[in-house]
Amino acid sequence: MNRQKRVAAVHDISCFGRCSLTVALPIISAAGIECAVVPTAVLSTHTGGIDGYTFHDLTDEIMPIVQHWKQLNLRFDAIYTGYLGSFRQLDIVSAMFDLLGSGNTFKIVDPVMADNGVLYKSFSPDFPKGMRKLCEKADIIIPNITEAVFLLDEPYKEGPYTREYIESLLKKLAEIGAKQIVLTGVYFDNEQLGAAVYDCKSGQIDYSFAGWIEGYYHGTGDVFGSAFVAALLSGCSLAQANAEAVKFTVDSIARTKAAGTDIRFGVDFENGLGEFAARLMKCKG
């Protein structure tokens, strides 16, 4: 039997509302990959469309966890980061990459900070510059279109997009330093939505799309990112991992829409985990 892979997921915990660690942990685990967690904060619910949530900052706990893991000589196949709420957390995660990221460890950064052309209210206008510094140390970054233009300090453009525009974004993002780029929220018309991937070494660009489903569903970025990490660590190629993540995310949205569930509560990814894990077995050979 092959050695079990291990991922360190650095995200907050929203105790209700599927996002961040409550998404990353089950999706990555379903792929047969051990998922260790570094919680950056604890919230009663996620913050999208829900008022009155509680929040407890865990910044002071992050480095002691990392240092203990270092003492235990733990090895990780990937370090996967999501929402980081402050410049201090960016600096701590950067140090974590140095302490725990060996030459064989994928450093994967989802630069969660903006959507729909707008920076999240909790961030100052200079936050993207700090996130860009963290992305410089990553092997793979997973921005959406809005986050991409903030990282590049460019104005936001509404879609649909042209292939030329998307590919120019990918190549500019590559200049930040990551070896592979995954760009989400890509669409060339109002019928399909998906993601593009760019392997900076080979110059290969691949796309994956699925049918457009109307509505804004919370937590789908975390679902996509976690599925992508699970697929990549299962042995899928960059293009295959992208395709699996797109399918898993869109299928989760479709189940949620069909059930009429309150979209603030996240998407039903749980009922797709078995099928997802079975598909990833093909990558494992």
Number of Cβ within a 10 Å radius of residue 279: 19
Mean pLDDT score across all residues of the chain: 96
Q: Which of 180, 211, 177 is nearest to 196 (CA)?
A: 180
Indicate if the pLDDT at residue 50 is higher than 90: no
Q: Which of 61, 63, 53 is nearest to 14 (CA)?
A: 53
pLDDT in tens, 169-218: 999 999 999 999 999 999 999 999 999 999 999 999 999 999 999 888 98
Average pLDDT over residues 54-63: 96
pTM score over 0.85: yes
pLDDT of residue 263: 87
Q: What is the mean pLDDT of residues 39-51?
A: 90
Q: What confidence score (pLDDT) does residue 141 get?
A: 98
Check whether 77 has a pLDDT greater than 70.
yes
Indicate whether 129 pLDDT > 70: yes
Q: Are 205 and 170 in contact (CB under 8 A)?
A: yes
The reported pLDDT for the residue numbered 285 is 63
pLDDT (tens digit, 9 = 90+) per residue, 219-252? 999 999 999 999 999 999 999 999 999 999 999 9
CATH 1.10.10.10 is the classification of domain 6-280:
no
Cβ count within 10 A of residue 117: 13
Q: What pLDDT is recorded for position 1?
A: 62
Q: How far apart are CA 267 and CA 198, in angstroms?
A: 27
Peptide bond before residue 160 is cis, with ω within 30 degrees of 0: yes
CA 147/CA 114 separation, integer angstroms: 6
pLDDT over 90 at 91, yes or no: yes
- Kindly state the average pLDDT of the residues 48-77: 95
**Can you tell me the distance from the alpha carbon of 141 to that of 147, in angstroms, rounded to the nearest whole number?**
11
Q: Which of the pair, 174 or 285, is modelled with greater confidence?
A: 174
C-alpha 253/C-alpha 259 separation (Å) is 10
pLDDT score of 49 = 81
Q: Convert the pLDDT of each residue in 15-28 to its tens digit.
A: 999 999 999 999 99
Structure tokens at 167: 């590919």
